[in-house]
């Protein structure tokens, strides 16, 4: 079957209606997702795409046609099936634990105790030693997690694609700095590189430009803030989790011949 692609040039009123449709579609998608979670928590089952379509029939309002509601239900159902299949195959879903944040109350209490002790006293030295031990425990927990996670990925996958992030610039954002430093991405990448080299595999860094904004399906740029966690493309209708869309773009850039891949990190180079 032959398909054709045309570019539209909407006027202001048409653009307003298209953006209203996109905003309402995002709202409906999130409501459908919440409904799926609620039903699973209640009886351990998920609603089918037909159940969702029936439940949200007529909820599109003025700007969202019934076919779009059906499409949203269908895409959400397919995404769920892919996620469950990945879980059955044992594909890991790894997030970075916040070791520093979880120990902040303990650290705060010990540091206040340290400040109350007289300088040069045995009690101050004891309090300083206790505070240092907590910092050491956090560092060891983080390092242990890094090694175990890196070993899992390095042995399982022949090619691992990551973004070439400038971490020192990213920590200038005071809202994210503590979380970024807590995750310690640079240290993790250094360990991952070493593990991959020993396994004979590759770690490739790619240009991070527009990896989360670019649609994996059609290649169009879809601007969204960091708080928007779902990628909804108004050009081709592709809907996916923001991180899934970005991961597909990163993997695509890492494949040979793309032109946006950076040098591989399997030659012992350090990662900053």
pLDDT value of position 269: 35
Is residue 256 a contact partner of residue 264, using CB atoms and an 8 Å limit? no
* pLDDT for the residue 132: 94
Q: Within a domain: residue 122? A: no
List Cβ neighbours of 12 (8 Å cut-off, separation of 6 or more). Answer: none
Question: Would you mind telling me the total number of residues written for the chain in this entry?
Answer: 272
Number of structural domains the chain divides into:
2
Higher local confidence (pLDDT), 9 or 44: 9
Last residue in a domain, options 44, 64, 91 = 91
Average the pLDDT over 190-203 and give the result: 91
Is the pLDDT reported for residue 149 higher than 80? yes
- Do 72 and 172 lie in one domain? The reply is no
Phi (first) and psi of residue 31, to 5 degrees: -70, -40
Mean pLDDT, range 223-228, rounded to an integer: 85
Last residue of a domain, one of 46, 75, 91: 91
Give a yes or no: residue 116 inside a domain. Answer: no
> How far apart, in whole angstroms, are the C-alpha atoms of residue 232 and residue 119?
59
Position 211 in a domain = yes
Q: What is the pLDDT of residue 36?
A: 87
Inform me whether the pLDDT recorded for 58 exceeds 90: no
Q: What is the mean pLDDT of residues 221-229?
A: 87
Q: What are phi and psi of 206, to 5 degrees?
A: -125, 160
Q: Which structural domain, as residue segments, surrounds residue 76?
A: 1-91
Q: What does the pLDDT average to over 115-140?
A: 94
Query: Are residue 155 and residue 76 in the same domain, yes or no?
Result: no
Tokens of 206: 């790619």
H or E stretch including 263?
strand 261-264
Nearest-10 Cα torsion for 170, 174, 179, 182 = 80
Q: For position 256, what pLDDT does the model report? A: 72
In a domain? residue 26: yes
Rounded distance, CA 160 to CA 194, Å?
Answer: 13
- In 10 A of CB 233, how many CB atoms? 20
How far apart, in Å, are the Cα atoms of 176 and each of 171, 173, 188, 204? 7, 6, 18, 25
The fraction of the chain above a pLDDT of 90, given in percent, is 32
The average pLDDT across 138-145 equals: 92
239: phi then psi, degrees, rounded to nearest 5: -125, 130
pLDDT on residue 271: 34
Going from the C-alpha of 207 to that of each of 18, 36, 160, the distances in angstroms are 31, 36, 14
């Amino acid at each position: 079957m032959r398909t054709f692609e045309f570019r539209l040039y909407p006027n202001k009123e048409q653009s307003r209606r298209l953006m209203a449709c996109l905003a309402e579609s995002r709202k409906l998608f999130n409501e459908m997702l919440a409904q799926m979670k609620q039903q699973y928590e209640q009886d351990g089952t998920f609603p089918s795409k037909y159940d969702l379509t029936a439940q949200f029939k007529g909820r599109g309002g003025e700007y969202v046609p019934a076919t779009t509601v059906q499409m949203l239900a269908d895409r959400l159902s397919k995404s769920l099936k892919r996620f469950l299949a990945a879980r059955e195959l044992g594909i890991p879903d790894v997030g970075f634990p916040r070791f520093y944040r979880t120990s902040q109350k303990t650290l705060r209490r010990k540091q206040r105790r340290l400040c109350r002790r007289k300088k040069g006293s045995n009690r101050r030295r004891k309090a300083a030693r206790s505070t240092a031990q907590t910092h050491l425990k956090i560092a060891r927990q983080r390092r242990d997690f890094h090694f175990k996670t890196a070993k899992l990925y390095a042995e399982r996958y022949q090619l691992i694609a990551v973004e070439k992030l400038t971490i020192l610039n990213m920590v200038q954002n005071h809202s994210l700095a503590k979380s970024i430093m807590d995750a310690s991405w640079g240290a993790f990448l250094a360990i991952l590189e070493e593990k991959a080299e020993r396994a004979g595999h590759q770690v490739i860094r790619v240009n991070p430009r527009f990896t989360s904004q670019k649609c994996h399906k059609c290649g169009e740029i879809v601007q969204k803030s960091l708080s928007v966690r779902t990628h909804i493309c108004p050009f081709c209708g592709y809907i996916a989790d923001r991180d899934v869309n970005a991961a597909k773009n990163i993997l695509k850039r890492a494949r040979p011949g793309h032109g946006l891949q950076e040098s591989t990190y399997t030659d012992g180079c350090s990662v900053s």
